């Protein structure tokens, strides 16, 4: 990808600048731009694709929480002046997306969730983080995918670097605990925006029953399971994922035109 990271007024982000509706991508705890590479390449042709870098590791420790990250996203969207966004979130990014949608329904064109937290998640467990144990981190990173080879050395090195940085590791744990506290089971019925759920059939972090519960609780939602796929379908099954997303966004756009 040749899209430069912009830095403005405390925000770091990438933006394709394409004419078209805005598609905002929200990453998870260990998210990186590479996680969304397939989406960015495909949809930068038709949408203004934007990825704000969530300040998980930069926020003051007392402000570290999912609500703090939602406030950040709210400020970012207001700063950019987006009237309406299609928001997509993976893992923690899905949780943040949901909270943002609940707070600002008037700004939402659609919602896409993949491996989202917000109801249930099983990440590193009580043994995390094991600082200095590269093999452990390599195994845990690989376990998030159906195909362990998806966990490239670059990705494992990045996760290893995070958990071995004391300040970052503390923020990872604090954010994860905050996510568990902010269970959305009693709020999801308030989401009325068209919602797409794309889930890995072999997701061990947010298992298939989580996707089924999201589908049950979000009225205007559709659910697609991808076989031989783990917690990051946009990485393991990029072509199928992008086709589903493209069809969904076309459906939403067509429905909006009918309403107009």
Domain ranges of the chain: 6-122+183-259
Helix axes 92-103, 66-80, angle to 10 degrees: 60
Q: Which residues, 6+ apart, have CB-to-CB distance to 204 below 8 Å?
A: 122, 143, 144, 230, 231
User: Which has the higher per-residue pLDDT, 73 or 29?
Assistant: 73
Q: pLDDT-based confidence at 175, cuts 50/70/90?
A: confident
pTM, rounded to two decimals: 0.92
Residue 89's closest CA among 138, 54, 46, 42?
54
Which residue matches tokens 């600048």? 17
Q: Which residues, 6+ apart, have CB-to-CB distance to 78 below 8 Å?
A: none
228-246 exposure pattern, b = at least 16 Cβ within 10 A, e = fewer: ebbbbbbbbbbebbbebbe
| 129 prior amide bond cis, ω within 30 | yes
d(CA 211, CA 209): 5
State the architecture of 6-122+183-259 in CATH terms. Answer: 3-Layer(aba) Sandwich (3.40)
d(CA 246, CA 244): 6
Do residues 110 and 194 touch, judged by C-beta distance below 8 A? Answer: yes
Pairing type for strands 22-26 and 48-52 reads parallel
> In this model, does residue 130 exceed pLDDT 80?
no
5-23 exposure pattern, b = at least 16 Cβ within 10 A, e = fewer: eeeeeeeebbbbeeeebbb
User: Which has the higher per-residue pLDDT, 40 or 29?
Assistant: 40
For 90-115, write each residue's pLDDT tens digit. 999 999 999 999 999 999 999 999 99
d(CA 100, CA 70): 6
């Amino acid at each position: 990808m040749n899209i430069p990271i912009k830095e403005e007024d405390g925000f770091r982000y990438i933006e394709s600048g394409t004419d078209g509706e805005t598609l905002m991508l929200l990453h998870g705890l260990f998210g990186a731009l590479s996680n969304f590479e397939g989406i960015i390449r495909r949809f930068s042709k038709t949408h203004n694709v934007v990825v704000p870098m969530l300040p998980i590791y930069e926020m003051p420790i007392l402000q570290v929480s999912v609500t703090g990250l939602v406030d950040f996203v709210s400020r970012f969207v207001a700063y950019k002046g987006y009237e309406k966004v299609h928001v997509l979130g993976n893992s923690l990014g899905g949780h943040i997306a949901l909270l943002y949608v609940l707070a600002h329904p008037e700004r939402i064109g659609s919602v896409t969730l993949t491996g989202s937290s917000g109801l249930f998640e099983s990440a590193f467990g009580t043994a995390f983080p094991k600082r200095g144990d590269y093999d452990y981190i390599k195994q845990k990173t690989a376990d998030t995918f159906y195909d362990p080879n998806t966990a490239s050395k670059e990705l494992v090195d990045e996760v290893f670097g995070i958990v071995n940085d004391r300040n970052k590791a503390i923020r990872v744990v604090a954010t994860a605990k905050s996510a568990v506290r902010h269970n959305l089971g009693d709020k999801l019925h308030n989401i009325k925006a068209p919602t797409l759920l794309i889930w890995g059939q072999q997701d061990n972090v947010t298992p298939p029953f989580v996707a089924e519960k999201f589908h049950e609780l979000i009225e205007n939602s559709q659910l697609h399971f991808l076989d031989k796929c783990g917690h990051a379908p946009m990485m393991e099954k990029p072509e199928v994922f992008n086709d589903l997303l493209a069809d969904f966004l076309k459906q939403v756009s067509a429905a909006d035109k009918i309403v107009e």
